Amino acid sequence: MSGSLQNLSGLDRVIHEPARLMLVALLSSVESADFLFLLKESGLTKGNLSVHLSRLEEAGYLRVDKTFQGKIPHTEYSLTAKGRTAFNEYRKKLDPIIRRHSKPAKL
Amino acid sequence: MSGSLQNLSGLDRVIHEPARLMLVALLSSVESADFLFLLKESGLTKGNLSVHLSRLEEAGYLRVDKTFQGKIPHTEYSLTAKGRTAFNEYRKKLDPIIRRHSKPAKL
DNA sequence: GTAAACTAGTTTATATTACAAACTAGTTTA
DNA sequence: TAAACTAGTTTGTAATATAAACTAGTTTAC
């Protein structure tokens, strides 16, 4: 490993998974969101959404606030500071690959 | 799925895998590269590199040119037009997520 | 002349996943 | 009282990624 791309090997897999990347990107643009909103926005199944949210919570990237609105349970999800930092780190790593270097290789 | 992030579900998994993303990014910046170069640049093990290159070849993203330099086998890998297109598509999809929208959420 | 190091892989085995579907447990509304 | 709702958990399957072991030859150093 001598090139300048070695950084990709340490890419945060928790965030890299498309479903979770979608969720983290979504949550990074709002203060918080509830389960139903994330379900509709993401297009994931309930089970799948639940598992991915759990994974983000385990990683410490997600704060889960469970309350009752009357008798109905209501859960709000929001990124933690750690989650925002991890997302920013992730974007920083991918940025040079996603951005155009503007000098296309001679074909 | 009503939001603007549904595009991520159709993300090209062949390219998304970090090891292959690294390889494709690498190959997109050169005309071609041989096995040893990719091995050193990527930091992957031989078997792993071999498998990932096969997967890219199966997807039609990679052209493999096997020759002999004297009696020693030499293999050159280069992206196909399809591979370059797929990589550009991939970057186009991730771009809005990786780029800063500049308006940070109110914390 | 033979053992080590090289090119360029393939095969195998293990471990981790992602995902959908089925299930749980309760509440509300028609 | 049955259907639809919130908010999940559990389970089973299938696809991965990865490292390690193996193949098959060539070259070089001792």
The protein footprint on chain D, as nucleotides within 7 A of a CB, is 5-11, 16-22, 25-27
The predicted pLDDT at position A103 comes to 47
Nearest to B27 by CA among B13, B12, B37: B37
B85 in contact with nucleic chain D (CB within 7 A): no
| Strand D atom within 7 Å of A51 CB | yes
Whole-angstrom distance, CA of residue B62 vs CA of residue A2 = 23
Domain ranges of chain A: 12-95
Chain B residues whose beta carbon lies within 8 Å of the beta carbon of residue A18: 8-9, 11, 13, 16
Is B47 near chain A, with CB under 8 Å? no
Query: Under a CB-based contact definition with an 8 Å cutoff, are residues A60 and A80 in contact?
Result: yes
Q: Which residue has the tokens 């759990």?
A: A54
Residue B78 phi/psi, 5° resolution? -145, 150
Judged against a pLDDT cut of 90, whether residue B5 lies above it is answered with no
Instruction: Find chain A residues with C-beta within 8 A of B18's C-beta.
Output: 8-9, 11, 13, 16
Q: Which listed CATH number (1.10.10.10, 3.90.600.10, 3.40.50.300, 3.40.1190.20) goes with A12-95? A: 1.10.10.10
pLDDT given for residue A7 in this prediction: 65
The confidence score (pLDDT) of residue B1 equals 44
**pLDDT tens track for B14-35:** 999 999 999 999 999 999 999 9
Q: Three-state SS across A43-88?
A: CCCHHHHHHHHHHHHHCCCEEEEEEEECCEEEEEEEECHHHHHHHH
Token pair in block for residue B34: 């041989």
Residue A52 CA to residue A90 CA, distance in Å, equals 17
Residue of B nearest to A18 (CA): B8
Topology at the third CATH level for domain B12-94: Arc Repressor Mutant, subunit A (1.10.10)
Rounded to an integer, the average pLDDT of B62-80 is 93
Inter-chain contacts counted by CB atoms under 8 A, chains A and B: 93
A9 confidence band (pLDDT: 50, 70, 90): confident
Q: Which residues of B touch A106 (CB under 8 A)?
A: 31
State whether residue B8 sits within 8 Å of chain A by CB: yes
Nearest residue of chain B to residue A24 (CA atoms): B97
Asked if pLDDT for residue A19 goes beyond 70, the answer is: yes
pLDDT band at B8 (very low <50, low <70, confident <90, very high): confident
Contact between residue A23 and residue A52 where contact means Cβ atoms under 8 Å apart: yes
The answer to whether residue A41 scores a pLDDT higher than 50 is yes
Least confident of A14-23, A38-47, A92-101, B75-84: A92-101
